[in-house]
Amino acid sequence: MADPERNTVSPWKLLPKVELHLHLEGSVWPQDVRELARRNHLPSAELPAKAFARQFQYSDFPGFLLAFKSVTEHLCQPRDYAWVAGRLMDRLGAQSVIYAEIFISGGVILKQRKPLDEIVEAVCEVTRTDGPGKGTEVNWILDITRQFGRKLAEEVVDAAIRLRAAGLDNLVGVGMGGDENSIEANEFKHALGRAREAGLRITIHAGEVAGPNSIWEALDILKAERIGHGLAARQDERLMRHLAEKSILLECALTSNVKTGALQRIEDHPLKHFLRSGLAVSLNTDDPALFSTDLEKEYDLAETALGFTREDFVSMNRSALEHSFTSPGSRASLLELFERRLSSPQL
């Protein structure tokens, strides 16, 4: 897997950016995973470099999930999560990301019997204190893992409601990722309904490797306000019209969808078709370390493979801010900052 430090400068480096679909655990680069193994005295610390790297090699979506799981097994303590959150803040700031919403895998943390409340508190504190100085405002989304089932989903929502009520105001939403073909949406209706009633916002991974019906179910049953990926929307004109009319944003990712086998080529991605059809979209990295990418590289790909222009990027980022889960006051301030940064002579 490539080193995260880029050797070339993207023409989009200074463009102010917004990222709405980013998993903390998927942002941990192999060299940092190895450092976690050393710190936590794990057996993998003794593996030869090639054997260690094989943990993060895969050819399909199930293989990706195993690679993701391997990263999580190296995050043992709240301080580990705080450390990788700080590393991520450095990278976001360096890429001119002014606002990000980051998923943290609540379902995985509970499944591995780790202290969820302490972990969420730790990462929220890091981004609250370090974010402003590094130029990035961050909010957090606690993620349900679909294939783990209803009971664990309820426990994730319990934690989100409890932490939010305790004053953790940069925990803004609940999401659901994982294997969208594993368990029917109805199983999660109660849990996500409770989250919504508690004031938490809802985003659901859907239409990534399943068909348009998975998106309809996310909208109709789970009342999703945003959709993660949503590739399958292009197969259903009625769904496309619905997404446009209701202004439901699709959190898109280019490299991710190729690396997991959802698409064969970047050129096949419907992102530009969505944008030209009047849909709200954002461009994201999803799991940058596991996909050997960063946000600047995704912008470069959108330009070279899909023909995106500066105007497209500006429009997309405005839309991302407008559909963010931050508070109205914060959103207004971020939009003002975005416009001010756009007027910089360097851009």
User: Would you please indicate which residues are annotated as catalytic (active-site) residues?
Assistant: 208
Please give the structure tokens belonging to residue 182: 């594993």
Where does residue 106 rank: exposed (0-12), middle (13-18), buried (19+ CB within 10 A)?
buried
Check: CB of residue 329 under 8 Å from CB of residue 321.
Answer: no
Check: CB of residue 17 under 8 Å from CB of residue 317.
Answer: yes
β-pairing, 137-145 vs 97-104, is parallel
Query: 3-class secondary structure for 55-77?
Result: HHCCCCHHHHHHHHHHHHCCCCC
Measure the CA–CA gap between 347 and 345, rounded to whole angstroms: 5
Residue 269 backbone phi and psi in degrees, to 5: -70, 135
Residue at token pair 């990788």: 84
